[in-house]
């Protein structure tokens, strides 16, 4: 950090201690060096900024470091201040970028457990659940993603395991691997993990991308038994799926509901609707 006027860098704690020290000196009979006190330039070099609690700084042992100790100095930053928030964001952005690069390395490595573990070893011992979510969410290799999922399950106590399953399902959707997606769903149930709306919408859209409308319908009809309700995106997918499966009545019923509730309808679904209306000779919609 470049040299900066002391008034802008010193924390209130540091300023208070400095004032007390100066007052104490005035009470002593020793002559003071006026040239030193009235110096026009004061330089404070800071090499690190530490987001630590004030109690760490106020420890009196910190002020008695020997000359052989580290020359690095620290300034306490209030964790609730905007500066602390900016520093945390900068630190997270840097870590996020490194996790994305790790996901890329995992995609390019051989889809074997040993190679995946070698890449993940760079995380060290301080890996957290959010790291697992970021890595899997940025992967595209289905085989390796399943190995990575297993790795994190063995090493982390996951608070919301459904999330890490959902991001893994998204990797399988990217690969259009419905077979593995269905097997992963079964594994979820075996482990006692309750699927949510995202779980179903991911599998349904995977079936759609695989051009298997009947499969999409099959998964759509499972939603109520798990206490889940589809969102407007899933309904849009199902209009397309029912239309392609030949169930025109269901497709049009969903479309009527979509117009009433103002769901988002994508281009593929509109193309299916145009085809349905065209086949029926209804060009007014």
Tell me the CB-side half-sphere exposure of residue 178, using CA atoms within 13 A.
Answer: 18
Contact 226, 200 (CB under 8 A): yes
**C-alpha–C-alpha distance, residues 218 and 182, integer Å:** 12
Which pLDDT score is estimated for 66? 46
Q: In the predicted model, is pLDDT for residue 149 greater than 50? A: yes
Strands 74-76 and 48-50: parallel
d(CA 218, CA 268): 20
The residues of the chain that CATH labels 1.25.40.10 are 96-279
How does pLDDT run across 41-58, given as a tens digit for each residue? Answer: 444 444 443 344 444 434
- Which tens digit of pLDDT belongs to each residue from 90-125? 666 788 899 999 999 999 999 999 999 999 999 988
Q: Write out the E strands in the chain.
A: 48-50, 74-76
Q: What is the pTM of this model?
A: 0.66
Q: How far is CA 119 from CA 82, 144, 150, in A?
A: 35, 11, 14
Cα(207)–Cα(169) distance, rounded to whole angstroms? 12
Beta strands in 165-228 (DSSP E): none
* The pair of three-digit structure tokens given for residue 265, joined into one six-digit string: 């309808």
What is the per-residue pLDDT for 285?
Answer: 56
Q: Looking at domain 96-279, which of 3.40.50.10470, 3.30.70.890, 1.10.287.3510, 1.25.40.10 is its CATH number?
A: 1.25.40.10
Residues 6+ apart with CB under 8 A from 215: 178, 207
Q: Which two tokens stand for residue 122?
A: 């760079």
pLDDT of residue 277: 79
Percent of the chain with pLDDT over 70: 66
Give me the pLDDT at residue 273, please: 84
Q: Which pLDDT does position 155 carry in this prediction?
A: 92
CA distance 281 to 266: 23
Alpha-carbon distance of 39 to 55, in angstroms, equals 32
Report helix, strand and coil shares of the chain as percent, to nearest 5.
Answer: 65, 0, 35
Residue 235: the pLDDT is 87
Which residue is associated with the tokens 């020290």?
A: 21
């Amino acid at each position: 950090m470049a040299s900066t006027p002391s008034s802008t860098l010193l924390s209130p704690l540091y300023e208070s201690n400095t004032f007390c020290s100066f007052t104490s000196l005035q009470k002593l009979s020793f002559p003071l060096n006026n040239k030193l006190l009235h110096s026009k330039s004061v330089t404070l070099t800071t090499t690190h900024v530490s987001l630590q609690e004030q109690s760490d700084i106020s420890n009196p042992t910190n002020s008695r470091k020997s000359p052989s100790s580290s020359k690095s100095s620290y300034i306490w930053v209030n964790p609730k201040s905007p500066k602390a928030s900016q520093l945390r964001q900068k630190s997270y952005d840097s870590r996020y970028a490194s996790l994305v690069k790790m996901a890329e390395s995992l995609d390019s490595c051989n889809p074997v457990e040993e190679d995946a573990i070698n890449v993940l070893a760079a995380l060290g011992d301080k890996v957290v659940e959010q790291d697992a979510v970021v890595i899997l969410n940025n992967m595209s290799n289905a085989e390796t993603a399943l190995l990575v999922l297993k790795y994190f399950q063995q090493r982390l106590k996951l608070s919301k395991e459904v999330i890490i399953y959902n991001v893994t399902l998204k990797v399988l959707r990217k690969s259009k691997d419905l077979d593995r997606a269905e097997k992963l769903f079964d594994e979820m149930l075996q482990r006692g993990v309750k699927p949510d709306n995202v779980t179903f919408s991911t599998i349904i859209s995977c079936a759609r991308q695989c051009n298997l409308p009947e499969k999409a319908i099959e998964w759509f009809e499972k939603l109520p038994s798990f206490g889940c309700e589809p969102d407007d995106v899933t309904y849009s997918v199902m209009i397309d799926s029912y239309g392609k499966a030949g169930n025109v009545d269901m497709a049009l019923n969903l479309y009527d509901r979509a117009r009433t509730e103002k769901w988002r309808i994508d281009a593929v679904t509109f193309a299916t609707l145009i085809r349905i209306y065209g086949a029926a000779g209804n060009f007014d919609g």
